[in-house]
Amino acid sequence: MATIRFKVNGKEKVVDTHTTKTLLDVLRDDLYLTGSKECCGKGECGSCSVMINDEVVCSCLVLVGQVEGEDIKTVEGVGTSTNMDIIQEAFIKEGATQCGYCTPGFIVAARSFLNKIEKVPTLEEIEEGIAGNICRCTGYTKIVKAIQTAAEERFSRIGAAVTQGNLQGKGD
Amino acid sequence: MMVSEIDMISPETMEECLQILNEYEQEVRLLAGGTDAVVRMKEGHWRPKLWLNIKGLRDLRFICEEKDGIHIGPLTTHTDMVQSSLLQEKADVLVHAAKEVGATQIRNMGTIGGNLGTASPAGDTIPALFVLDAVIELSSVNGIRRIPIEEFFVGPGKTVQHKSEMITNIIIRPQEENEIGIFEKLGPRKAQAISIVNVAISLKMSGDGWQCAGGKIAFGSVAPTVIRARKCEVLLTLQELNEEGISNIASLAWKEVAPISDVRASAAYRRDMSTALLERGLLRLMKRWEDR
Ligand SMILES: Cc1cc2nc3c(=O)[nH]c(=O)nc-3n(C[C@H](O)[C@H](O)[C@H](O)COP(=O)(O)OP(=O)(O)OC[C@H]3O[C@@H](n4cnc5c(N)ncnc54)[C@H](O)[C@@H]3O)c2cc1C
Ligand code: FES
Ligand code: FES
C-alpha cells in the first residue's frame, strides 16, 4: 500500500491504495467518479478515456503509482448536467448517444481534440481524432456530427469574442 | 484482478534507476507508457516482482540534433514524434510510422523506448529506425554501450539488452536534402491495429529524375525480427524508379520475407502483401518526389 497524491478535476486527492491498481479502478472505486467506464480493459475502446495534463489517455492502462503529482481530468470535470460543456450539449442536440456506455469516453476524447484544433475540423479529421473510441450502437455518424457542431459553436464564440475586442469572453 | 503482489518503485533520477536495475535480485521490469506492459500484466504474461516506473524521468524525453545525429530520448511518445518539426524535416519516415501507431490515446501514452523494449516484429517504429541507421544506447551502472539497431533484436520479444541495462538514447541519421522516406502499413483495420505487414523505405535520389543513388528497405511482421530487404535494395539503383522499375523491385519482395501464419494473417497472404506494400510505397514516394 502507498499514499498517492494527485489532482482530479482541479481538486487535490490523496488515496491509500496499491500502486499497481489501475487509475480507472481508483477513480471508480476509491473516488466514486464512475463516469469513466471499463469495457475492454486493454486500450482498444476508449471508454475509460481521461486527460492527464491535457493529453487524453486510457485510464485502464495507467497504474495509479504513475500519476503522483499529475493533473487528471475526467468526464465529470469536463461538465456536469447542471453545467454542461458545449460538447455535451452538442451530443444531446444531435442525439449522439444510445446506450450511453461509450459516451463519457467520447466526451473526454472530443474535448481533448477540440482543445488542440485551430479551425473547424473536417469530418476526416474528426474521425481520426476519435479513432481510439468504439461505439457499438450509434454507427458514429451522429457522434461525428455532434463534434462538428461543437467545433462550429466553439469557433463562432471565439469569432464573436474577437470582433467585440474581448478575448476574455467565454471562448468555449 | 489481484495486483497487490506486484510492487512499484518510481526512481527520481536515472542513476537511482540504474542502481535498482543492478541490485534488485528478483524479476524487475521497466514501466514507461504501460500500453504493452499493463496489457500483458492483465493477461498474466508479465508478472514481475517489481515495476520500475520510469515515466517520471523527464530527462529521458527529448528530441534534439547533435553532431553525431538526431537524439531521441526513450520516453519520447509517439505524439511527440508526430509533432516534432525536426523529425518532420529530417526523419519523415519515422514521423509516418509514429502516426500509424494505435490511436490518439495510445500515441499519447506509448513511447519509442517501449516500442523497442517490447521488441515485437510488428512494432511500427522499428522498420523506420532500421532505414535511418538507428543506434540504441544502453546504459547500466557499468557504463554505456551503443548497439546498431540491426544487432539489437534477436527474436520476437528478445533483445541483446542485459537485465541491468536500459535504453537511454536512440540516435538516428538525419536525412539529407535529396532523401525521402515513407512508411506503409497493412493492419486489420485503420486505427488501433497491429501490423500484418509493414515496410519503411528511405531513398537517396540523384538529380531530379527517377534515378535513385541508394536506399534502404525494412519489413516488419514478416520474420522473427524486422529485416532489411537487401536484394530489393540492390535493384533500387540499377534501373529508373518508373512504374516498370518499381514493379520489378516489388516482385522480389516475397523472396526476402519469411513470414508465419497467425491469427492476423496467413504466411502466403503476408508474402503477397509485402510485394503490394513495397510497390505502393515506392509509387507514392516517386509521386511525392515528382510533386515536391
Ligand atoms: C490498443 C493498442 C494499440 C496499439 N497499436 C500499436 C501499433 O499500431 N503499432 C505498434 O507498434 N504498437 C502498438 N501498440 C503497442 C504499444 O503501444 C507500443 O509498443 C508502445 O510504443 C509501447 O510503449 P510503452 O511506453 O507503452 O511501453 P511499456 O508498455 O511501458 O513497456 C514495454 C516494454 O518495453 C520495456 N521498456 C520501456 N522503456 C524502456 C527503456 N527505456 N529501456 C528498456 N526497456 C524499456 C518495458 O520494460 C516493457 O518490457 C498498441 C498497444 C495498444 C494497447
Ligand atoms: S476500457 Fe480502457 S480502452 Fe477499453
Ligand atoms: S451508445 Fe452504446 S456503445 Fe456507444
Q: The domain spanning residue B219 has which CATH number?
A: 3.30.390.50
- In angstroms, rounded to a whole number, what is the distance separating the alpha carbons of residues A53 and A12? 14
For residue B145, tell me if it sits in a domain.
Answer: yes
Which pLDDT score, from 0 to 100, does residue A165 have?
60
Please list every residue in chain B whose beta carbon sits closer than 8 Å to the beta carbon of residue A129. Answer: 104
Tens-place pLDDT, residues B239-256? 999 999 999 999 999 888
What would the mean pLDDT of B185-209 be, rounded to a whole number?
88
Q: Would you call A147 exposed, middle or buried from its count of C-beta atoms within 10 A (0-12, 13-18, 19+)?
A: buried
Which pLDDT score, from 0 to 100, does residue B2 have?
52
Q: Which of B172, B193, B214 is the C-terminal boundary of a domain?
A: B172
Task: Write the residue in B31, B55, B105 that is nearest to A58 by C-beta.
Answer: B105
Query: B194 and B246: one domain?
Result: yes
Q: Do A44 and B51 touch (CB under 8 A)?
A: no
CA distance A160 to chain B (A): 30
Domain assignment of residue B74, given as a range:
60-172
CA distance B100 to chain A (A): 11
Query: B185 and B163: one domain?
Result: no
| Distance from the alpha carbon of residue B112 to the mean position of ligand 1, in angstroms | 7
Q: 3-class SS at A144? A: helix
Note whether A112 and A150 are within 8 A (CB).
no
Tens-place pLDDT, residues A58-102? 999 999 999 999 999 999 999 999 999 999 999 999 999 999 999
| Distance from the alpha carbon of residue A37 to the mean position of ligand 2, in angstroms | 8
In the predicted model, is pLDDT for residue A167 greater than 70?
no
CA distance A164 to chain B (A): 33
Which pLDDT score, from 0 to 100, does residue A166 have?
55
For residue B1, tell me if it sits in a domain.
Answer: no
Q: 3-class SS at A135? A: coil
Please list every residue in chain A whose beta carbon sits closer than 8 Å to the beta carbon of residue B190. Answer: 131
Grid cell locating A10: 482541479
Going along chain A from its start, the domains and CATH numbers come out as 2-78 (3.10.20.30), 86-163 (1.10.150.120)
Query: B224 and B270: one domain?
Result: yes
Name B104's Cβ contacts closer than 8 Å, sequence gap at least 6: A56, A109, A112, A113, A129, A130, A131, A132, B79
pLDDT band at A47 (very low <50, low <70, confident <90, very high): very high
For residue B124, tell me if it sits in a domain.
Answer: yes
Which pLDDT score, from 0 to 100, does residue B5 have?
74
Length, in residues, of chain A: 172
In the predicted model, is pLDDT for residue B153 greater than 90?
yes
Query: B244 and B216: one domain?
Result: yes
For residue B3, tell me if it sits in a domain.
Answer: no
Give the residue, out of A47, A107, A137, A140, with the most ligand 3 atoms within 8 A of its beta carbon, to mutate for a pocket test.
A137
For residue B183, tell me if it sits in a domain.
Answer: yes
Task: Write the residue in B10, B105, B190 that is nearest to A46 by C-beta.
Answer: B105
What would the mean pLDDT of A140-158 be, rounded to a whole number?
93
| Residue B32 CB–ligand 1 contact under 6 Å | yes
Average pLDDT, chain A: 93
Please list every residue in chain B whose beta carbon sits closer than 8 Å to the beta carbon of residue A49. Answer: 105
Note whether B185 and B124 are within 8 A (CB).
yes
Cell 510505397: give the residue.
B281
Query: B199 and B282: one domain?
Result: yes
Which pLDDT score, from 0 to 100, does residue B236 have?
95
Q: Which stretches of B7-59 are assigned E, i.e. beta strand?
A: 7-9, 28-31, 50-53
One-letter amino acid of A121: P
Note whether B285 and B203 are within 8 A (CB).
yes
Q: Which of B127, B152, B172 is the C-terminal boundary of a domain?
A: B172
What would the mean pLDDT of B203-207 be, rounded to a whole number?
91
| Distance from the alpha carbon of residue B147 to the mean position of ligand 1, in angstroms | 20
pLDDT band at B201 (very low <50, low <70, confident <90, very high): very high
In the predicted model, is pLDDT for residue A171 greater than 50?
no
Q: Of the candidates B289, B292, B286, which has an alpha carbon nearest to the alpha carbon of residue B247?
A: B286
For residue B262, tell me if it sits in a domain.
Answer: yes
| Residue B227 CB–ligand 1 contact under 6 Å | no
Query: B197 and B230: one domain?
Result: yes
Query: B121 and B205: one domain?
Result: no
Question: Mutation test of the interface with chain A: which of B105, B109, B111, choosing the one with the most A Cβ atoms within 10 A?
Answer: B105
Give the residue, out of B8, B31, B35, B111, with the most ligand 1 atoms within 8 A of its beta carbon, to mutate for a pocket test.
B35
E strand or H helix at B236, and its extent?
helix B230-236
For residue B48, tell me if it sits in a domain.
Answer: yes
| Residue B29 CB–ligand 1 contact under 6 Å | yes
Note whether B198 and B259 are within 8 A (CB).
no
Cell 543506434: give the residue.
B135
Torsion of CA A63, B116, B134, B275, to 10 degrees: -130
Q: Which of B172, B187, B205 is the C-terminal boundary of a domain?
A: B172
CATH code of B74's domain? 3.30.465.10
pLDDT band at A172 (very low <50, low <70, confident <90, very high): very low
Query: B224 and B284: one domain?
Result: yes
Query: B122 and B144: one domain?
Result: yes
Per the structure, the count of domains in chain B is: 3
For residue B2, tell me if it sits in a domain.
Answer: no
| Residue B73 CB–ligand 1 contact under 6 Å | no
